[in-house]
Amino acid sequence: MKPLIDGDILLYEIGYGIETGWDSPGYPYFDQAAEMLDERISNICAMVGATEEPTLYLTGKTNFRYAIATRQPYKERPSLKPYHYKNLKAYVQNVYDCVLSVGTEADDEMSLEQRRRPNDVIVCSRDKDLKTSPGWHYGWEVHNQPSFGPSLVDGVGWIKLSDPVPKKTRTLKGAGPLFFYAQCLMGDGVDTILGLQKGVGAVGAFKILDGCTTPTEAFKAVREAYRAVHGDDGHKFLLETGRLLYMTRYLDEWGNPVLWEFPDV
């Protein structure tokens, strides 16, 4: 099994992690950050039973999603980076096998490779978006967030609503097509992707999709929800949201991402 590791997340996680534990004047020493990074990668490989060396995936400067987003600019948020971000990026590119995306994101490149080698690669990331991509997945433990997998995402997938807790907002976890359609309803605040409408969160998305047993049923439920809220604009709003959220699975003959389209129902 070959680990496909989300390098974007690791650079931030390790960079900020070493700063959090640093209680001396100035900034943490880089060799400690590099050591922490190496240890995390080794642990990931051990947990997934790696039989091949890992490949780390990093996002480049260009991204096709910026041109797609019209309802709201894509990833319009402060771009704050840890002190050793650039140093860690240069380190992994020199020490490990790395893929730097061009025109896409690291997530897309991992999804593409997972489609090419569905039975012998495993996507290793804490990014929930990647769990919509069919294949093997693993996420490592971070602070109070538990690990998940290795697990296989296939078929219609699943969604699960967290139990109600006083003064806490309920969350929705999932994988596969069902989770993709749930994201289309909820949007993504981190990547500034609008969903159905403001206020539709985990509970609302779950209610709309509860009982759907096929991707077709899920799509129809989401399409009707967009029509009910946005009328004639529902079609284009859903198409835009889906294309922003969809993990690229194919490239066209010119090497451009094949965008998500409405299924033929």
CATH of the domain at 5: 3.40.50.1010
The domain tally of the chain equals: 2
pLDDT (0 to 100) of residue 91: 97
Q: Strand 121-124 to strand 97-100: parallel, antiparallel, or no bridges (unpaired)?
A: unpaired
168 and 145 within one domain? no
Identify the pLDDT of residue 262.
97
Whether 201 and 96 share a structural domain:
no
153: Cβ–Cβ under 8 A, 6 or more apart, which residues?
131, 132, 133, 134, 135, 136, 137, 175, 176
Q: pLDDT value at position 80?
A: 84
The verdict on 46 and 149 lying in the same domain is yes
88 and 186 belong to one structural domain: no
In the prediction, which pLDDT does 24 show?
72
* Stretches in the chain below the pLDDT threshold 50: none
pLDDT of residue 77: 79
pTM: 0.93
pLDDT score for 142: 85
pLDDT score of 137 = 97
Q: Do 79 and 12 belong together in one domain?
A: yes
Q: Which of 61, 77, 84 is nearest to 10 (CA)?
A: 84
Residue 144 sits in the same domain as residue 217: no
Q: What pLDDT is attached to residue 28?
A: 81
pLDDT value of position 33: 93
Residue 111 belongs to domain spanning: 1-154
Q: Give the type of residue at 32.
A: Q
pLDDT score recorded for residue 194:
94
Q: Decide which of 121, 139, 154 is a domain's last residue.
A: 154
Based on the fold, state whether residues 220 and 140 are members of the same structural domain. Answer: no
Same domain, 81 and 165: no
- Pair 222, 98 in one domain: no
Q: What is the pLDDT of residue 39?
A: 97
For residues 147 and 57, membership in a common domain is answered with: yes
* One domain for residues 204 and 241: yes
Across-strand partners of 5? 56, 124
- Domain termination residue (choose one: 111, 132, 154): 154
150 and 160 share one domain: no
Out of 154, 177, 206, pick the residue that ends a domain. 154
